[in-house]
Amino acid sequence: MIRPQDAVGELYGVSLRYGARVALDDVTISLPAGRMVGLIGPDGVGKSSLLSLIAGARRIQSGQVHVLGGDLGDPRHRADVCPQIAYMPQGLGKNLYPDLSVRENIEFFGRLFGQSKDERDRRIAALLTATGLDPFPDRPASKLSGGMRQKLGLCCALIHDPDLLILDEPTTGVDPLSRRQFWSLISRMRAERRGMSVIVATAYMEEADQFHWLVAMDAGRILAAGSPSDLKAKTNSSSLEESFIALLPEERRRGHKAFTIGPRPPGDDGEPVIVARDLTRRFGEFVAVDRVSFSIKRGEIFGFLGSNGCGKSTTMKMLTGLLPASAGEAFLFGEAVDASDMKARFRVGYMSQSFSLYSELTVRQNLDLHAHLFHIAREKARARIADLTARFGLEDFLDQRTADLPLGIRQRLSLAVAIVHEPEILILDEPTSGVDPLARDRFWDLLADLSRGEGVTIFISTHFMNEAARCDRIALMDAGRVLATGTPAELVKARQRTNLEDAFIDYLEEANAAEARRSGPRPETAARPAEKPGMERERRAPNRWFSPRRLFAYTIREGLELLRDPIRLGFALLGTAFLMSVFGAGISTDVNNLTFAALDRDNSHDSRTYLEELRGSTYFIEKKPIVDQADLERRLQSGDIKAAIEIPPDFGRDIKKNLPTSVGAWVDGAMPFRAETIRGYLQSAHQQFLSDYAVREGQAADNTPDDVRQALRNKDVAMLGYAHSNPAVQARIETRFLYNQDFESIYAQVPGSIALLLVEIPAILMALAIVREKELGSITNLYVTPVTRIEFLLGKQIPYIVIAMVNFAILCLMGLLVFGVPIRGSFPVLLLGALLYVTATTGIGMLISTFCQTQIAALFGATILTMLPATQFSGMLTPVSSLVGAPAMLGRGFPMTYFLKISVGTFTKALGFQDLSMTLLQLAAFIPILTLLSLIFLRKQES
């Protein structure tokens, strides 16, 4: 029994659900302080959920969680103990930033904990030396090996000298040498830092055996707790893995027996069915697989043993034709691997590292689908599926969706799908990763039956030593190279070791020493003054509400990532310029060079004079005359002409006699805006003819020819009145245009395009920036560090405001120099308006990102929620004042409505601060509103 004063963490009746799935079920446990505590169990049993609750990263749904002497349900206590807790989430370097260097990653975490530059430099030097990363301070995190990445993650976790270190499967996928070095490093740091508590989740029973105290978990519940020796004694087991199996419920253990595999049948040493000769694969300058050679014989179980990222999966993909080799040769069944050779594919089964079946389909539907893909006859497929479901124990799950299956059942289904077409070769890429020991043994029973009973050749990759020991032969792989090949016993004997792990470590150390000799001597690191005793205990209470240092930690980090991602930066800076050139040059409301043709049924002097009015216009281009009505309809339908003029018979005679007559105008109405403009042009030309005719005949007209020509020049499409002979009518309306007297659309397009582009691109960039943290998992740093939500949001927003202002400058220069649109009003007012505007538009992206979980969703959300109101309700096409109801509310509630007034006003109307001050205030009001809404929706803990 652990007393409360001796516990680093206590959980009382804690339950946690993800939708309908139970992650933790009424968990009550006390964890001893100052010890190495391990959580053991397969993936999906609740280990990560439990650790995230203890770290304060996840919201407590029910029960109580006490850590470091207080209740984490109390926000004040959680904020107080946050600087005393360090949390490394599951996944290689998941809390790291791949584009940042080793030093920049650690500096980022130092700033989050409020450390000054001198303090950061001192701590970073000590940590880099302790972890052996001091020769690589400038290497990007993405270029580190798995072991080095975990060491860097540990440096970032320890930068603030925590009392409680929480590690979620820190060595999964790491090679045995790096794994051993990692735990040696933890032991040294615990020795130097007396009293530090460490809680670890692990999938490796052999490393859990070294911890002081263990918690065995299954299905969200605690199976047992105590020291490794206590658990083994309780279950009368010789190993921790056997002990864990014995602790499982009886229904789970029923029928289980220790795994054994018999020898290969005699006479199976024929020609190899898989051969690799100097197989090489490069990705740019990076060599993923370096001159790998091996051969695998029929019926053999051949294991590929190595850490994540060493080239196992890449080699397997080259052997299946999924990835072309950069150099070397690969053979299957004596034939060179050819991705287009479907016959060879029908003889190979492949099970990828990640679950690759269709999660929305049931077990039966997945099996049926793959049977059809391999062209298996219906009756044969039905019998084959029945056999596989019986052998693999899938009968009770046939109608369940695969997304709802336990991990062990899901892996069995993947194997069944991989062999549904009875392949001769089966390639399995880490098929048992995350599976509990019981399910792993059952899986290997199936593999043994396939190999020994059916003669299937099995090529399997793993990073579990006990699995590698079950293979007939194995290849040890590291950094893209095969270090040794042979039976497990041969490899152990060759290095004169007692087990396979020690032999593998020996091979790795030899390879590392050879690489060090090739690379030259390790660079000397500058000597630094030793830290004073007790210096590591100095801690300043962080500012709970706001810290500029924490805010600029995110600003600096986001800026560095942008600068090191040329594609994203290129789109951010040049994308707006490209779209501006399209909008400015390719989109115009000017309607010129309209095609028309005439059907002149009168062919008189007056009818020809009438048509001359159109021929002399700059807006019309005449096509060959129309023959008849059918020709008129055909040419309008084909798009050959946009308008047709039909002059009736006796047109000239009737007009001379002052008799009523009419001219038919047929307009292509497929595009209403253009059709309306054509109608206006034709009406103006018609009025011009009547005015000219009245002048020639000595009649007075309401409008003189000059008036009509001015109307045409100004594109005044309103009817100016019909000519008549009443000299008493002298009143008329004269239209004058201000600001854009030539009525050219470019003077509206440029300021409008600037407003449109500064809402779309910044909003999208900002939305993606925050959601990217969620997808990569680095959002955890918000949950478990002292940084506040406002610091996080504003820190990430600042770089995108800067980019948006650079875009604004580029767009203004393009407007001035490329399109010749001058800024007639106050540029400082335009600049201030742009700053307020992009702060608001990035705020829109910030708000969208708070409720999106994927970058795809954020991209679509930001595009739709900005483009629709920008084009329809902000005054770009229709004045906001003419909108009513919901469209009017959308228009007045969107920032572009106000910036459009500023942009058009300063470019075209020569407006200044006095004219636009109220609009600037209205635009500025969006900033606190959007920021407040983002704060409401962004949580400091994961739900």
Q: Which of 197, 225, 253 is the last residue of a domain?
A: 253
Q: Which two tokens stand for residue 487?
A: 């039976």
CB 642 within 8 A of CB 668: yes
User: What is the per-residue pLDDT for 589?
Assistant: 54
CB 810 within 8 A of CB 803: no
By CB atoms closer than 10 A (0-12, 13-18, 19+), residue 218 is buried
Same domain, 121 and 23: yes
Same domain, 647 and 564: no
DSSP secondary structure letter of residue 451: I
Angle between helices 895-908 and 827-850 (to 10 degrees): 160
Q: Which of 253, 288, 314 is the last residue of a domain?
A: 253
Same domain, 868 and 837: yes
Q: 703 versus 622: which is more confidently predicted? A: 622
Same domain, 833 and 923: yes
**Alpha-carbon gap, residue 514 to 439, rounded angstroms:** 40
Phi, psi of 397 (to 5 degrees): -120, 10
Give the mean pLDDT of 359-384. Answer: 89
Q: Would you tell me how many other CB atoms lie within 10 Å of the CB of residue 723?
A: 19
Percentage of the chain modeled with pLDDT above 70: 88
pLDDT band at 729 (very low <50, low <70, confident <90, very high): very low
Same domain, 12 and 113: yes
- Using alpha carbons, select from 6, 55, 64, 11 the residue that is nearest to residue 35: 6
- Using alpha carbons, select from 774, 746, 760 the residue that is nearest to residue 866: 760
Pairing of strands 272-283, 286-297: antiparallel
- Please state the domain count of the chain: 3
Q: Would you tell me how many other CB atoms lie within 10 Å of the CB of residue 403?
A: 12
The residue range of the domain holding 805 is 548-583+744-937
At 209 the three-state DSSP class reads: coil
Query: Could you tell me the CATH number of the domain that includes residue 56?
Result: 3.40.50.300
**Placement of tokens 């032991």 in the chain:** 187
- Using alpha carbons, select from 552, 466, 538, 16 the residue that is nearest to residue 260: 466
- CA 508 to chain centroid, in Å, comes to 35
pLDDT band at 199 (very low <50, low <70, confident <90, very high): very high
DSSP secondary structure letter of residue 604: S
- Specify which of 38-47, 670-679, 801-810, 874-883 reaches the highest per-range mean pLDDT: 801-810
Angle between helices 789-813 and 566-586 (to 10 degrees): 40
Cα distances (Å, whole numbers) of residue 355 to 279, 404, 414, 928: 26, 13, 7, 44
Same domain, 643 and 575: no
Query: Could you tell me the CATH number of the domain that includes residue 630?
Result: 3.40.190.10
**Alpha-carbon gap, residue 454 to 447, rounded angstroms:** 10
Same domain, 780 and 840: yes
40 assigned to some structural domain: yes
Q: What is the mean pLDDT of the chain?
A: 83
User: What is the per-residue pLDDT for 267?
Assistant: 62
408 assigned to some structural domain: no
Same domain, 54 and 194: yes
Q: Find residue 140's DSSP bridge partners.
A: 101
864 assigned to some structural domain: yes
Pairing of strands 643-647, 664-667: antiparallel
Q: For 201-216, write each residue's pLDDT tens digit.
A: 987 888 888 899 999 9
849 assigned to some structural domain: yes
Q: For 744-785, write each residue's pLDDT tens digit.
A: 667 778 888 899 999 999 999 999 999 998 888 888 899 989
By CB atoms closer than 10 A (0-12, 13-18, 19+), residue 328 is middle
Same domain, 883 and 751: yes
260 assigned to some structural domain: no
Give the mean pLDDT of 242-256. Answer: 81
User: What is the per-residue pLDDT for 239?
Assistant: 86
Pairing of strands 457-462, 425-429: parallel
Q: Which of 693, 713, 733 is the last residue of a domain?
A: 713
Q: For 316-356, write each residue's pLDDT tens digit.
A: 888 878 888 899 998 888 888 877 777 777 888 888 766 67
**Alpha-carbon gap, residue 120 to 117, rounded angstroms:** 5
Q: For 379-414, write each residue's pLDDT tens digit.
A: 999 999 998 888 878 888 888 888 777 666 787 888
Residue 511: half-sphere exposure toward Cβ, Cα within 13 Å: 17
Contacts 24+ apart (CB under 8 A), 242-249: 243/216, 244/40, 244/41, 244/205, 244/216, 244/436, 244/437, 245/437, 245/438, 247/216, 247/218, 247/223, 248/218, 248/223, 248/436, 248/438, 249/218
Q: Which two tokens stand for residue 808?
A: 């604004």
Same domain, 182 and 122: yes
